[in-house]
Amino acid sequence: MIDIAIVDYGMGNLRSVQKALEHVAPAASIAVTSDPDVVREAKRIVVPGQGAMRNCMHELEIRGLREAVMEAAVHKPFLGICIGLQMLFEESEEGHVKGLNILPGKVVHFPATAMTTADGQKLKVPHMGWNQVYQAIKHPLWEGIAEDARFYFVHSYYVETTDSESIAARSNYPFPFTCAVTKDNIFAVQFHPEKSQLAGLTLLSNFAKWTPNF
């Protein structure tokens, strides 16, 4: 049985995620897979993703992975990264596509009218680079990570959730936005832990050891 399955639906920075997990969990068996049966049998699931939401959801569907991912989000430790976070919600403004509807809320674009700092500096979209992440709750995946640690972001859309209790962290660009959520066995982040040096590796190490109470 695979310890950690990284879901391959043709979209995402899979090898970087794999290498980072292999570094922090050298004793674990880790596989990049597009096989729904392997996803179902693995002990833990990581769903990374980059690119357009519509393409991601389409590829998930045609590869037969949608149901396996939804089952994993209910039954086993689940880590979503970037689009792997966004797809958990009801819908996205990007392509006006439906998500998996596992968590309440929607994915919205950074509004052009708000992308200005207090001193009048224009901010670019996508939000790209290092930014501080402010933890909203205590969680096993934050263990050993400073409450205002910096992580690496690349995104033009962010989630607006209607469940405030699921918010695990926020960042600012230039206004506060949700950048991590959690519920039961799910933990999902907008930033890229595999690109975030020590803080990111610590989060991945915590996930490899996490046993949710649900």
The more confident residue out of 95 and 104 is 104
Compute the distance between CA of residue 61 and CA of residue 9 in angstroms, rounded to an integer: 9
Structure confidence at residue 13 (pLDDT): 73
pLDDT tens, position by position, 141-167: 999 999 999 999 999 999 999 999 999
**Active-site residue, 58 included:** no
Structure confidence at residue 181 (pLDDT): 98
Average pLDDT score over the chain: 95
Which of 56, 94, 155, 192 is catalytic? The answer is 192
Phi/psi at 139 (5° precision): -155, 145
Which of 59, 94, 179, 194 is catalytic? The answer is 194
**Active-site residue, 82 included:** yes
Which of 56, 59, 82, 179 is catalytic? The answer is 82
Token pair, residue 208, equals: 């490899």
This prediction has a pTM of 0.96
**How large a percentage of the chain has pLDDT more than 90?**
89
C-beta of residue 189 within 8 angstroms of C-beta of residue 139: no
